[in-house]
């Protein structure tokens, strides 16, 4: 299997998506640099891992149900876009998280 060649525009697109995933994946804990680096790396890795896993599931479903698949190039693009979606949704979840309710 040969790695697909991307056009310069596609490379820039994937680079921008990666930078946004990294930006949305940064977790900051004041005064705790080890925890900041660990949690940030963990979340960034998770975004790309789940993006790739979801793409693989879509590939298998498309192959099984529709007897059609997509190319590796399209799969990489889908995985990156899903990673961006996961990173934005997780950041919104962390940002909009409501505090626990106190009993009356």
Q: Residues 14-27: pLDDT tens digits?
A: 999 999 999 999 99
47 contacts 19 by C-beta, under 8 angstroms: no
Check residue 54 and give its pLDDT: 96
Residue-wise pLDDT for 47-97, tens only, equals 999 999 999 999 999 999 998 888 989 999 999 999 999 999 999 988 888
Output the pLDDT for position 97: 82
Structure tokens at 36: 């900041």
- Pick from 70, 74, 52, 69: nearest CA to 4: 74
């Amino acid at each position: 299997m040969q790695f697909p060649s991307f056009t310069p525009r596609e490379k820039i697109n994937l680079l921008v998506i990666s930078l946004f995933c990294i930006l949305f994946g940064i977790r900051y804990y004041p005064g705790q640099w080890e925890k900041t680096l660990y949690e940030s790396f963990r979340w960034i890795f998770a975004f790309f891992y789940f993006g790739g896993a979801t793409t693989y599931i879509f590939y298998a479903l498309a192959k099984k149900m529709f007897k059609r698949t997509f190319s590796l190039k399209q799969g990489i693009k889908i995985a990156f876009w899903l990673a961006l979606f996961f990173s934005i949704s997780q950041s919104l979840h962390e940002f909009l998280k409501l505090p626990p309710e106190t009993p009356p």
